[in-house]
Amino acid sequence: MKSLCLAFIVLSLSACTTSVKPWERGTLAKPEMQWVSDPADFALGNHIYFSKEGSTGGALVVGGGCGCN
Amino acid sequence: MKKSKQNNQTALAALTASAMALPAFQTQAATAPTENVVSYRSSNYSEDNVPASSVATGSTDRYDIDIQQLSLLAPVGKNFSLKFDALTEKLSGASPLGTQQGPDGKPQLVMSGASGTGIKEDRDDYSAHGTYYGDGYSTGLTYGQSTENDYKATYYGVDWEVEFNNKNTAFQIAVSQSDDKLSPTDAVLYGRVQSAEKETQSISIGLSQVISKTKIIQFGLSATEDSGYLSDPYKTSDLRPSTRNRVTATTRYRSFSNSSNAAMHLDYRYYSDDWEVTSHTLGFAWHQNMGSSFVLIPSLRYYTQTEASFYEPYQTAGNTNPYYSSDYRLSPYGAISAGLKFVHSFQHFSYTASIERYESSGDYSFDKVAVEHPGLVNFTRITIGFDVKF
Please give the domain boundaries of chain B with CATH numbers for all domains: 37-389 (2.40.160.40)
CB A66 within 8 A of CB B19: yes
Counted residue by residue, chain A has a size of 69
| SS3 category, B314 | coil
Distance between CA B288 and CA B191 in Å, rounded?
54
ipTM (interface predicted TM): 0.89
Chain B residues inside the 8 Å CB shell of A13 = 169, 207, 209, 211, 217
Burial of B383 (0-12, 13-18, 19+ CB in 10 A): buried
The DSSP annotation for B334-357 comes to EEEEEEEEEEEEETTEEEEEEEEE
Cβ pair B232, B238 in contact under 8 A = yes
Find residues 123-162 of chain B whose CB sits inside 8 Å of chain A: 123, 125, 127, 129, 142, 144-146, 148, 151-153, 155, 157
For the sheet with B55-57, list strands across it.
B55-57, B107-111, B96-101
Instruction: Note which residues in 275-304 of chain B have CB less than 8 A from chain A.
Output: 277-279, 287, 289, 295, 303
Length, in residues, of chain B: 390
Kindly give, in sequence order, each residue whose CB lies less than 8 Å from that of residue A15, ignoring residues fewer than 6 positions away.
none
What span, in angstroms and rounded, lies between the C-alpha atoms of B323 and B237? 9
H/E stretch holding B109: strand B107-111
Residue pair B68/A42 in contact (Cβ under 8 Å)? The answer is no
**In chain B, positions 101-120, which contact chain A (CB-CB < 8 Å)?**
none
CB A13 within 8 A of CB B346: no
Residue B180 C-alpha, separation from nearest chain A C-alpha, in angstroms: 8
Each residue's pLDDT expressed in tens, for chain B with a length of 390 residues: 333 433 333 333 332 233 334 333 444 456 888 999 999 999 999 999 999 999 998 889 899 999 999 999 999 999 999 999 999 999 998 888 889 999 888 999 988 876 666 788 899 999 999 999 999 999 999 999 999 988 999 999 999 999 999 889 999 999 999 999 998 887 777 778 889 999 999 999 999 999 999 999 999 999 999 999 999 988 888 999 999 999 999 999 999 999 999 999 999 999 999 999 999 999 999 999 999 899 999 999 999 999 999 999 998 888 788 999 999 999 999 999 999 999 999 989 999 999 999 999 999 999 999 999 999 999 999 999 999 999
Closest by Cβ to A68, choosing from B13, B216, B262? B13
Using CB atoms, pick whichever of B13, B166, B330 lies closest to residue A54: B330
Counted across chains A and B, CB pairs separated by less than 8 A come out at 263
pTM of the model: 0.89
Q: Which of B63, B221, B295 sits opposite A2 (nearest CB)?
A: B221
Distances, alpha carbon B28 to alpha carbons A20, A27, B206, B218, in Å:
13, 12, 11, 9
